[in-house]
Amino acid sequence: MSIAAVRSTTGKKRLLHPLPLRIMHWINALAIFIMIGSGWRIYNDDVLFGWLHFPDFLVIGKWAQYGLQWHFFGMWIFVINGIVYVTYGIVTGRFRQKLFPISMREVVATVADALRFRLSHENLTVYNAVQKILYLGVMMIGVIIVISGLCLWKPVQFSELSGLFYNFQTIRLIHFLCMSAIVGFVLIHVTLAVLVPQSLVAMLIGGPTVGATFTAEAQPPPAAKHGRINS
């Protein structure tokens, strides 16, 4: 479906973050909080790395079985919400409009600007190349953590899937590394939300009004995109 087609079918104005998207974002935040806290409790029962134990005040569940109960409760929220979110992102065209295209030239320029603290935050409605990569990346990690989680939960029932991994401990390691990547993402994401508070406000009340393409209407056409990075 072309951009023109999207315009013609969904021409009405809307907020940068429409209500369903904000609801899904905060449900996801809650689900990730539950999954990571309980996951650390489960990890502590049989650690992958002798030097790493998560302190009791950071974990969810007094005992491992309570951690497991939380984990197998949170998984439903995370997976169901995630499926609805991805479907929404694809069907409304939001992903394609906000996360693509990504050019290497733009990535280099954005990183250079970031290192010189010259990133612009005036227009919340357009993501820079590093944001695009991080958002796409964390979504892919989300898919892998669900697949590896399914393989840990049901290595025999889903043996066709779990057989793709070397062995059971490898699946645990991949699940753990995905968790680490998500924790890294959350740290960056929350830090930037605090540094640019209007982005946090936008995720609470919706942000600026945008056109059908989810970008601000005053936005220059795609050909002039590079100009916004440090303007």
Q: Which residues bind another protein (CB under 8 A)?
A: 30, 34, 37, 42-43, 45-46, 48, 60-66, 68-70, 72-73, 76, 153-157, 159, 163, 167-169, 172
Kindly tell me which of 9 and 65 has the beta carbon lying closer to another protein: 65
One-letter identity of residue 134:
L
Q: Torsions phi, psi of 210, nearest 5? A: -130, 170
**Shortest Cβ 32–another protein spacing (Å):** 13
**Shortest Cβ 157–another protein spacing (Å):** 6
**Shortest Cβ 208–another protein spacing (Å):** 29
User: Hey, what are 84's tokens?
Assistant: 């609805």
d(CA 68, CA 70): 5
Kindly tell me which of 3 and 48 has the beta carbon lying closer to another protein: 48
Kindly tell me which of 37 and 82 has the beta carbon lying closer to another protein: 37
CB 6 within 8 A of CB 213: yes
d(CA 142, CA 130): 18
CB 171 within 8 A of CB 162: yes
User: Hey, what are 97's tokens?
Assistant: 């409009």
User: Hey, what are 69's tokens?
Assistant: 């109960």
* H/E segment holding residue 46: none
Task: Please state, in angstroms and as integers, the Cα–Cα distance from residue 149 to each residue in 65, 116, 193, 221, following that order.
Answer: 17, 39, 29, 42
Kindly tell me which of 15 and 27 has the beta carbon lying closer to another protein: 27
Kindly tell me which of 42 and 229 has the beta carbon lying closer to another protein: 42
Place of tokens 């790395």: 49
Task: Please state, in angstroms and as integers, the Cα–Cα distance from residue 223 to each residue in 101, 143, 215, 216, following that order.
Answer: 12, 33, 14, 16
**Shortest Cβ 144–another protein spacing (Å):** 19
One-letter identity of residue 41:
R
**Shortest Cβ 82–another protein spacing (Å):** 17
DSSP3 helix / strand / coil % (the chain, rounded to 5): 70, 0, 30
Bridge partner list, 14: 210
Kindly tell me which of 75 and 126 has the beta carbon lying closer to another protein: 75
Kindly tell me which of 71 and 132 has the beta carbon lying closer to another protein: 71
